[in-house]
Amino acid sequence: MRVSLTALRAFEAVARTGGIARAAEELSVGPTTISRHVAALERRIGTALLRREGRGIALTPAGIDYHAAIRGAFGSIETATDRLSAQARGEPLSLMVMCDSAMLVRFIAPRLAALRRAVPGIGFRLAADEPSTADAPRSRIVFCRIGAMPDGVLLSKPPIVAVTAPGGPPLPKAAALDGQTLLHHRTAAAWQEWLRLTGNGPAPAGPGIIMPDKASLLAAAEVGSGIALACTTLAGTALLEGRLRQVLGPGVVMGGWYAERPQSALATRFVEWLRAEITAIETQAAHAIAA
């Protein structure tokens, strides 16, 4: 069965970006053109690939299966094109990854060997701050952060838990915090909100220690400098290895890790790898905490 490559490209872009308007912008055509190509593909195949969902669209079961089957082919074509283009410029094929510094230090850096195995033959440039446009096109950048990113790809919504070094009193509730040192990331606001959400009451009076980033916050907690708040994504490995312990009861969700919607096959492969790694460590941490 002959199928229009243009129609396939239109459908793949809609399925990957999550919308006709986004696909149209990526392919530099009008939304009507995208809709026409997808409709022609559906007629050719003989089944619906998209369905209306509120004000947007969603893939039908057939559309999900079809996209899973064709996206690898488009990804291979794009990667081969990028690789050849890079070779013509005398440069290696690489992906710029810009993310939260704690995600970089605590999560990605220890897993670089696994990343290279999952995405072989690709170079990576990792940065905790956004590079200039001259350093890397935005289509090569993946953003990962804790918080809200409406147009991004959700990777995880991990619980935020209170952690400290092994040993010491059990600290089952906030009343036991009197005399304890609280470690803060930039301000005390997160502790106040977390204690309110978990029903532990107001933060105890007393001096705390303010750290500049979440990576140094966790490093301080590991050596017994105080009690910190951290998501299980970043604290999971330390909890599993016994370098940290959870205190003050169950955690609470206060945000999520998001990635900028991938604009290239390489970025898509990285985001898929990162989501799988996050899911694995958070699942292990949840089991360890429950035990």
pLDDT for res 132: 44
β-sheet bridge partners, residue 51: 58
Give the H/E segment covering residue 113. helix 112-118
pLDDT for res 135: 42
pLDDT for res 124: 87
Using CA atoms, how far residue 187 sits from 97, 102, 180, 191, in Å, is 27, 17, 17, 9
pLDDT for res 249: 81
pLDDT for res 150: 65
Using CA atoms, how far residue 240 sits from 33, 61, 171, 284, in Å, is 52, 38, 19, 8
Question: 3-state DSSP call for residue 267?
Answer: helix
pLDDT for res 235: 95
In contact, 236 and 290? CB cutoff 8 Å? no
Residue with tokens 């559309």: 63
- Which parts of the chain have pLDDT scores under 50? 131-141
Distance CA 284, CA 267 (A): 26
pLDDT in tens, 33-58: 999 999 999 999 999 999 988 778 88
Domains located in the chain, CATH noted: 5-86 (1.10.10.10), 92-156+257-290 (3.40.190.10), 159-253 (3.40.190.10)
pLDDT for res 175: 62
Output DSSP code: residue 167. S
